[in-house]
Each structure stands twice: as structure tokens, then as C-alpha cells.
Amino acid sequence: MARIFVLWIFIFVSCIASAQSIEVTPDASPLGKGSSEFNAGLAYALGSNGRIDYVKAYELYKAAADLEHIKAQNNLAALYATGLGVEKNPKLAIYWFEKAASQGSSYAEYNLARAYNAGFGVQRDTSLALQLLEKAANNGYFEAQFTLGQMYLTGRGVPTNFKAGLYWLLKGAEQGDPRSMFGVGVIYEEGLAVPIDFKTAREWYVRAAASNFGEANKAIEHLNIIDRK
């Protein structure tokens, strides 16, 4: 697999996850402050009650966010960022992302990192964006871990560092992210931070393929061709 193709794959995959990161898991206990409002809003946002209604989702998220519900604050910010259910307002998006991040939301930290990197609602600050991304990754958010991994692997926004790329992709893979699994396979196939190891590469590609990451099947077939030579 040509290295230029590998790098293109990572740039392509990172663009797939360009939407705002939102909380999609209902609160297990509806008795928490704002939990019932958040859960009801999430149901409208996901259409799990039979229909998608972002206006209703906005109203319920806002009620929960005013009660300091962290997930609701992040998801409310995402609605302001995208203009779903409410008029698009980057400043309010940043306000609510910051509220959620101040309470420890790694989703909000990741969204803020993207905002500062793009200059969305704030003055562009790539240094702060990287700090926020690293914070989200260290707090266990797989999207941030994957993003850092592909940045270090491709040298986009940071100096190329294959070992750091492998470290963060392994972190994401451990949480079940198929893109990170694929990335680890790429590293072992290409020998980017470790000796070339087709067996280990195949194992990671198989895991990614089992999680429905289509490019992994192509990578497995490529290794099959190598084996037949």
C-alpha cells in the first residue's frame, strides 16, 4: 500500500467526522438535575420517539442546560453551531461549549478545539486548539485520540511523530474506534513507528473490518495479494 495512499486515507477519514460531537447516550438515572429534560431532548434529536424535531430538542436541551446539565450544554451548543432547531449563533455555541468544558466534558473540549482551529465563533488560535484537543484525548474521548493520532501520523498541525501517532491510535482503538484500529494496522504494515509486521497489521485490519470500516477490507485484500506473491 503506497504511503501517499495511506496518508490520503487518514485525511479523508478525518473529514468524515466533521460534524459537531454530541452526546447520544441517555442518562441512566432520570432523577439527576436536568436529566429528564436532556433525555427527552435527545429523543427528539435522534428521532427515537418516532420523529425528529430539533426545535423541541432545542427547547428541552436549553431547559436542562440552564440546570447545569453537562451533556445538555454540549448538545445545545452543537445546535447553535449548526443552526438545527434554532438560529445559527457561533458565539452562543462557544458559550455553551465552554460551560460544558468547564464541568469536564471531553466532548465540549473537542468541539472547542475544532472551533479554535477553524476560528469558528472565536479568534483562530491553533496553539489553544491543540491544547484543548490533547486535554480531550487525555480525558478519554476517542474522537480526540483518533484526531491526534492522524495528526501525528501525517504531520498536519504538529511535527510528524509516528510513535505519538501509534500511541494515540492505540488509545482510540482500545475504545473500539474502527478508524483507529485501521490506523494501527497501517502503521504496522508500513513500519512507520515499528518494524514492518504484516501479521499484526492484518489482525488490526480484521478488527476494523468487523466494526464495518470498509477500507479495512481493501487493506486485507492487499495483504492477501502480498501473501500470494
What is the rounded CA–CA span in Å between residue 54 and residue 93? 16
Tell me which residues of the chain have a pLDDT lower than 50.
Answer: 1-5, 7-18
Q: What is the pLDDT of residues 130-170, one digit of tens each?
A: 999 999 999 999 999 999 998 998 888 899 999 999 999 99
CA–CA dist 148, 138 (Å, integer): 11
**CATH placement of domain 22-140:** 1.25.40.10
pTM of the predicted model as reported, rounded to 2 decimal places:
0.86
Which residue type is seen at 131? Q
Q: What is the pLDDT of residue 14?
A: 45
Query: Where along the chain do its domains lie?
Result: 1-20+142-229, 22-140
Q: Which top CATH class is 1-20+142-229?
A: mainly alpha
Cα distance between residue 176 and residue 120, in whole Å? 30
Residue 142 CB partners (closer than 8 Å, separation 6+): 171, 172, 175, 176, 177, 180
How confident is the model over 107-121, as pLDDT tens digits?
999 999 999 999 999
pLDDT of residue 195: 96
Same fold, 1-20+142-229 and 22-140: yes
Concatenate the DSSP letters of all residues of 93-121 into one string.
Answer: HHHHHHHHHHTT-HHHHHHHHHHHHHTSS
Record the cell numbers describing residue 170, joined without a space. 492505540
